[in-house]
Chains A and B, each alone.
Chain A
Amino acid sequence: MSASRESEPPRRGSKSLWRLTFGREDWGDRIAVVVVIVLIIAAMEIGSRFVPDYILPAPLAILEALVQFFTHDLGQIVVTLLRLAMAVVFSMLVGTLIGALMGMLPALRPFLSSLMIIDTGIPALSWMLIAIFWFKDAEIRIFFILTVILLPFYAMNVHEGIRALPKDWLEMVESFRPSRWQVLRYLITPHIAAYILLTTKSVIGYATRMVIFAELIGATVGIGTRMGLAEATFRIDQVFAWTVFLVALNAILQVLVSAAEKRLLRWRPELEVR
């Protein structure tokens, strides 16, 4: 008797990877995005003809300012991106560790959980002002602000991930008599990877906005600082240009995280709801 005579395996989803990425539905979405962008540009162009430049600049002026950033302010962009990357990676590592401790050490759970809940209740602005009092160095200020804001998201979601770990899987792995380290490596880490990625996906936009705020308040270099300078010198074209840049940056970061998600979580079945 062969396995093939047993009940039929489920068929792969009818959507191929090509269709999922470039399918008609996606093209429809993309066309909608382009239409919205064109409408916004047209509205700005028309509006700019009726109001002064310092209220609404023409799209061409914004484009010129945007091009200037890449020739004159590339360093500012790199500094902001590095700050963002360092804070996200650090928060991911430490938040995951705290979440894992919450999930694996019941005695510590109530203390760490309370700490995380209190942290999430503190407004970002409070942390920014506190950081200015506490730290002289701008880098430490920004790193601190981003970390205390992002860390609880990772800790809470990883904890939820560990709580959602099926007991059946744990029993199965334990039937092979593994060490604690092996349980962590072969079962818990791959299981919580999905939670870490989904957290990153949801906080990346928020983190980008926070790093700009933090730079505006507590730094002398970076996109936030440049936006503050543009406001102070009545360069609204630059404010708009930085805004366009940040929207594009957020979209690129989302695409990158989604690509990582597709790659690392390729084992997940695609669900189709009729």
Chain B
Amino acid sequence: MTPRAPLIELNGVTRRFDRHIAVENLSFAIACGEMVALVGRTGAGKSTVLNMIMGTLPPDRGFVRVAGLDPFADFRALGGKLAVGFQTDRLLPWRTALENVELGLQIRRVRKTDRRALAREWLARVKMQSAEDKYPHELSGGMRQRVSLARALAVDPEIILLDESFSQLDHVTSKVLRTDFAELVRSLGKTCLFITHRIDDALEMADLILVLAAPAHVVLEVRPRTELAGGAASAAELQGRIAAAMGGDEEDGPPGELVRTGSTGAR
């Protein structure tokens, strides 16, 4: 079996803001079809890393490659290849749910009839077909986040970046949404990099967990599916290792939360 070429690659990346070093000599690679979690405490530099991958920030040293391109220098060339799900839904209030999903397709210059059909299809996939004519203020937080994920996925990107996209939602809604999202992304074979400070999110969704410590550098790599399936570690042990690498207890919720996640194969 030949190793898959990395779709996202960071090599010796350093980024400073004045005297503050946000990212230091960071290297990792993500293969096509992988779902990778960047985990770290607040201030660990996760968002800076994501911004460099999005192409909104250049590295001071080292290089970033996304689908073989420099995301900052070749900003427009990555159009349609990469989509982002944000912490808040960021739906445009003057557009209905359907029109919000159409936004990326409009920017990609997809014909009106095609983009409308695609937007409807994506709203149905995220179980929001009944809300296509509703404005964002008429939807709940979870519903808005579903529409926002449909908007990101509708452009059929190779890579999806998520910036704590489920963290603003209540526990139950967040769990439902991330389970649905993970299933959808895996079924489509997309590559996904998501940042989170919640260990249970990472263990539940990711093939690979990269634990970052400030200034952003990888202090631990965990492949939860492999380790749990092979019996090399229990879910609680993995959670403890990740929490220790992050520099203390998990920030969000007690370790016991993990046993409720289920889909990691922990039980």
- Give the interface of A toward B (CB within 8 A): 1-3, 5-10, 12, 168-169, 171-179, 182, 186-187, 190-191, 193, 265, 267-269
Q: Which of A2, A176, A187, A191 has the most CB of B within 10 A?
A: A176
| Stretch in contact with the other chain, from B10-18, B30-38, B137-145, B205-213 | B137-145
Which one of A2, A5, A176 lies within 8 Å of B103 (CB-CB)?
A: A176
Within 8 A of A (CB), among B75-109: 75-76, 78-80, 82-84, 86, 88, 90, 92-96, 103-104, 106-108
Q: Which of B82, B94, B141, B180 has the most CB of A within 10 A?
A: B94
State whether B86 touches A168 (Cβ < 8 A). yes
Which one of B56, B78, B79, B128 lies within 8 Å of A171 (CB-CB)?
A: B56
Given A6-B141, A177-B80, 16 more A-B residue pairs with CB atoms under 8 Å apart are A3-B131, A6-B142, A7-B141, A7-B142, A10-B137, A175-B82, A175-B83, A175-B84, A176-B79, A177-B75, A265-B94, A267-B93, A267-B95, A267-B96, A267-B135, A269-B137
State whether B139 touches A9 (Cβ < 8 A). yes
| B143 contacts across to A, CB distance below 8 A | 3, 6, 9
Residue of A nearest to B176 (CB): A1
How far apart are the CA atoms of A263 and B197 in the complex, in Å? Answer: 43
A-side interface mostly:
loop
State whether B138 touches A9 (Cβ < 8 A). yes
How far apart are the CA atoms of A258 and B103 in the complex, in Å? Answer: 28
How far apart are the CA atoms of A129 and B108 in the complex, in Å? Answer: 53
Q: Which of B76, B107, B139 has the most CB of A within 10 A?
A: B107
Residue of A nearest to B161 (CB): A175
State whether A9 touches B176 (Cβ < 8 A). no
State whether A5 touches B176 (Cβ < 8 A). yes
Q: Quote the shortest CB–CB distance from B107 to chain A (angstroms).
A: 4
How far apart are the CA atoms of A7 and B139 in the complex, in Å? Answer: 10
State whether B84 touches A10 (Cβ < 8 A). no
How far apart are the CA atoms of A182 and B135 in the complex, in Å? Answer: 22
| A186 contacts across to B, CB distance below 8 A | 92, 103, 106-107
Q: Can you give 12 A-B contacts (C-beta < 8 A)?
A: A3-B128, A7-B141, A7-B173, A10-B137, A10-B140, A177-B78, A177-B79, A179-B76, A182-B106, A182-B107, A193-B94, A269-B135
How far apart are the CA atoms of A8 and B79 in the complex, in Å? Answer: 35
- Give the interface of B toward A (CB within 8 A): 54, 56, 75-76, 78-80, 82-84, 86, 88, 90, 92-96, 103-104, 106-108, 126-128, 131, 134-135, 137-143, 146, 155, 170, 172-173, 176-177, 179-180
How far apart are the CA atoms of A74 and B248 in the complex, in Å? Answer: 82
Q: Quote the shortest CB–CB distance from A187 to chain B (angstroms).
A: 7
How far apart are the CA atoms of A174 and B143 in the complex, in Å? Answer: 23
State whether B90 touches A169 (Cβ < 8 A). yes
Residue of B nearest to A2 (CB): B127
Q: Quote the shortest CB–CB distance from B130 to chain A (angstroms).
A: 8
Residue of A nearest to B123 (CB): A3
| A176 contacts across to B, CB distance below 8 A | 79, 83, 103-104, 107-108, 155
Q: A8-B140, A9-B138 are in contact. Are A172 and B90 (CB under 8 A)?
A: yes
Q: Quote the shortest CB–CB distance from B194 to chain A (angstroms).
A: 15
State whether A268 touches B140 (Cβ < 8 A). no
Q: Which of B83, B92, B106, B177 has the most CB of A within 10 A?
A: B92
State whether A7 touches B170 (Cβ < 8 A). yes
| A175 contacts across to B, CB distance below 8 A | 54, 82-84
Q: Quote the shortest CB–CB distance from A49 to chain B (angstroms).
A: 57
How far apart are the CA atoms of A23 and B78 in the complex, in Å? Answer: 53
Q: Which of A2, A172, A179, A182 has the most CB of B within 10 A?
A: A172
| B180 contacts across to A, CB distance below 8 A | 1
| B108 contacts across to A, CB distance below 8 A | 176
Q: Quote the shortest CB–CB distance from B33 to chain A (angstroms).
A: 21
| B54 contacts across to A, CB distance below 8 A | 175
Residue of B nearest to A194 (CB): B94
Q: A1-B179, A190-B94 are in contact. Are A6 and B107 (CB under 8 A)?
A: no
| B142 contacts across to A, CB distance below 8 A | 3, 6-7
Residue of A nearest to B155 (CB): A176
State whether B76 touches A6 (Cβ < 8 A). no
State whether A187 touches B128 (Cβ < 8 A). no
How far apart are the CA atoms of A236 and B75 in the complex, in Å? Answer: 70
Residue of A nearest to B173 (CB): A6
